[in-house]
């Protein structure tokens, strides 16, 4: 299993590359969102890895990456420095970064700080912040969102969302739902609580004018977490941005409508050549 040691943590990553070995290939870095891992993006790999090297990185405290101490207060700098460390350790050079939800929030901050790491930035259902009314939904009846994560774990929290605020996926086939819940359960409840505490305080809207790299916004049509009017504001504020609206039932368009997302991504990247 490929791992790198970054900031005293083991960071897990997967690389899939079926490009011609005699030709230089560009890298698509896929960064998962809150409570997920690179495994959630398995279905994106086949359509991409014949033309691009596809990198999936597990965020600290997620998937098969290591955990900081339970008492460590997470910071944005921690997460950005992890990502910078991965880029340097793997000698990536500029990449096409695809960040979903919280992974998109981090992409905005990373692009504003280190634009040289990017060929392009794609934001998939990325909010500018986790607004108070969304944090209340995320609390699923507990005192607050971090408490819910620590008490219920990822799988219990998802069950609470599905049964209460509305399904994150409309495809409720039992086998698929069981797989999703099992993947959510792999993330450690304390780590999810600590990330929730950080995410509740972050707002990247002031950084938007500083994002100078070509940007694609994949905007969900019906997500209360990243509403369409906010997505349009991002398009208007990031200097070199395009937007594609993806019809879907809720927030997780990367999972529910991967074909539309991947088609838009490939068209966007192709236009930069």
**pLDDT tens series, the chain, 273 aa:** 699 999 999 999 999 999 999 998 999 999 999 999 999 999 999 999 999 999 999 999 999 999 999 999 999 999 999 999 999 999 999 999 999 999 999 999 999 999 999 999 999 999 999 999 999 999 999 999 999 999 999 999 999 988 765 545 555 567 888 899 999 999 999 999 999 999 999 999 999 999 999 999 999 998 999 999 999 999 999 998 999 999 876 889 999 899 999 999 999 999 997
The Cα 269–Cα 273 span in angstroms is 7
Domain assignment of residue 196, yes or no:
no
Residue 165 lies in a domain: no
Least Cα distance to 199 among 81, 104, 55, 76 occurs for: 76
Q: What is the CATH number of the domain that holds 87?
A: 3.40.50.1820
Q: What is the largest CA-CA distance in the chain?
A: 56
With contact defined as beta carbons under 8 Å apart, do 146 and 193 qualify? yes
pLDDT at 248: 73
Q: Residue ranges of the alpha helices (H) in the chain?
A: 45-48, 76-89, 102-113, 132-138, 145-163, 174-185, 189-199, 228-237, 253-256, 258-271
The pTM of the whole model exceeds 0.75: yes
User: Within a domain: residue 253?
Assistant: yes
Nearest to 156 by CA among 121, 191, 180: 180
Domain of residue 240 covers 3-130+203-271
- What totals of helices (H) and strands (E) does the chain contain, helices first? 10, 8
- For residue 176, the model assigns a pLDDT of 85
List Cα–Cα distances, 136 to 130, 141, 181, in angstroms. 10, 8, 22
Look at residue 144 and tell me if it is in a domain. no
């Amino acid at each position: 299993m490929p791992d790198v040691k970054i900031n005293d943590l083991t960071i897990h990553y997967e690389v899939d590359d079926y490009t011609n070995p005699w030709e230089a290939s560009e890298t698509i870095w896929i960064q998962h969102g809150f409570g997920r891992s690179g495994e959630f993006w398995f279905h994106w790999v086949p359509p991409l890895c014949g033309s691009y090297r596809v990198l999936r990185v597990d965020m600290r405290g997620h998937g098969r990456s290591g955990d900081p101490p339970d008492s460590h207060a997470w910071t944005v700098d921690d997460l950005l420095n992890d990502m910078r460390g991965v880029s340097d350790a793997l000698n990536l050079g500029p990449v096409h970064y695809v960040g979903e939800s919280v992974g998109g929030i981090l992409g905005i901050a990373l692009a504003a700080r280190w634009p040289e790491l990017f060929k392009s930035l794609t934001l998939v259902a990325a909010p500018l912040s986790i607004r108070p009314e969304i944090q209340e939904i995320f609390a699923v009846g507990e005192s607050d969102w971090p408490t819910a994560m620590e008490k219920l774990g990822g799988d219990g929290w998802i069950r609470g969302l599905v049964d209460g605020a509305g399904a994150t996926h409309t495809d409720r086939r039992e086998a698929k739902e069981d797989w999703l819940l099992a993947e959510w359960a792999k993330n450690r409840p304390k780590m999810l609580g600590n990330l929730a505490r950080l995410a509740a305080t972050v707002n990247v809207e002031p950084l938007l004018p500083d994002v100078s790299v070509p940007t694609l916004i994949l905007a969900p049509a019906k997500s209360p977490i990243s509403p369409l009017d906010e997505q349009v504001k991002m398009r208007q504020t990031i200097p070199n941005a395009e937007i594609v609206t993806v019809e879907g039932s809720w927030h997780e368009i990367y999972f529910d409508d991967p074909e539309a997302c991947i088609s838009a991504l490939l068209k966007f990247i192709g236009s930069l050549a």
